[in-house]
Amino acid sequence: MASVLVTGGAGFIGSHVVEALLARGDEVCILDSLDPFYAVASKEANLARIFERGDARVVRGDLRDASAVAEAAAGVDAVIHLAALAGVRPSIERPADYWDVNLLGTQRVLDAIAGRANVRFVFGSSSSVYGGRETVPFHEDDSVGQPVSPYAATKRAGELCCHAFHVLNGNPVSCLRFFTVYGPRQRPEMAIHKFTRMIENGEAVPMFGDGLSSRDYTYVDDIVAGVLAALDRCGEPAGFRIYNLGGDGTTTLADLVACVGKGLGKEPKIERLPDQPGDVPRTAADVSRAREELGFEPRTAVSEGVPRFVTWYRASRAAGEVE
């Protein structure tokens, strides 16, 4: 049994990770500011579900608050750092905020474990660091020096921050590049949640570009399995490691919209729009390193995961938990 700090533990991915840790007997502390980027009530509901499954210590505080972070990190064996300002498009509007929270906040969390070289550190990064690459699939050793959004730049900078900390302090560190995670509790502005809501309401779905842009959509349960494997093997085979965690397949925007419509039993209405700044044409993960070193195996295809999400969405909407 380990004692684990999960930053962002009230959020989408974080709450699932916390539940998985509690289910296997780990002690968990959650650090979360309950930022109003989306409804605070959703995060409070996530915490309520967590408390139904076990005890977790909660520190409500900002990543940039050194005292709050120190309180949360006291006595832990490991840190899973998932808290961040998320989203490509909002980062274009608020770049300074993203740098402040995502980079200074990451450094604050690292500072809280300085001098404790046995504490493992898992950092939630993003496939957005690969920028507008045309060559697929993306491998961890590919060049990532040309981000196309402030969000992507902060995530790459966070990886570099973690590497410097590892070199100077010796802590084992694993950085996980998540590829478009979806599933129950997904943030409401993310594509699958947004499309589901709009099609259910009979609204036109915005389709940017020709609909042929593609993403490697990864179901949250597969991501959680990868996070826990990275935690358990952090430091093996090297003290610092980067892993892609993806769904091992791609889906075009047009096919995704059709899949959501099929899951709802409704024909989507489409609003054609030009490409969005900061968007990349495609993402595709080479997960061979994670498969070999972590035993990672994505198991949930989009054709299975989207109907699961639709079922969750309709139940949550009926309960008044989502719009």
- The DSSP line for 220-236 is HHHHHHHHHHHHHTTTS
Count of all residues that appear for the chain in the document: 323
Residue 96 corresponds to which tokens in the numbers above? 């300074």
- Using only C-alpha atoms, what is the Rg of the chain? 19
Active site (annotated) includes residue 313: no
**Cβ 249 vs Cβ 216: under 8 Å:** yes
Residue from 38, 98, 130, 151 carrying the catalytic annotation: 151
**Cβ 144 vs Cβ 252: under 8 Å:** no
What number of CA atoms fall less than 13 Å from residue 23's CA on the CB side? 11
Alpha-carbon gap, residue 299 to 218, rounded angstroms? 9
- The DSSP line for 43-71 is HHHHHHHHHHH---EEEE--TT-HHHHHH
Query: Which active-site residues does the annotation give?
Result: 151
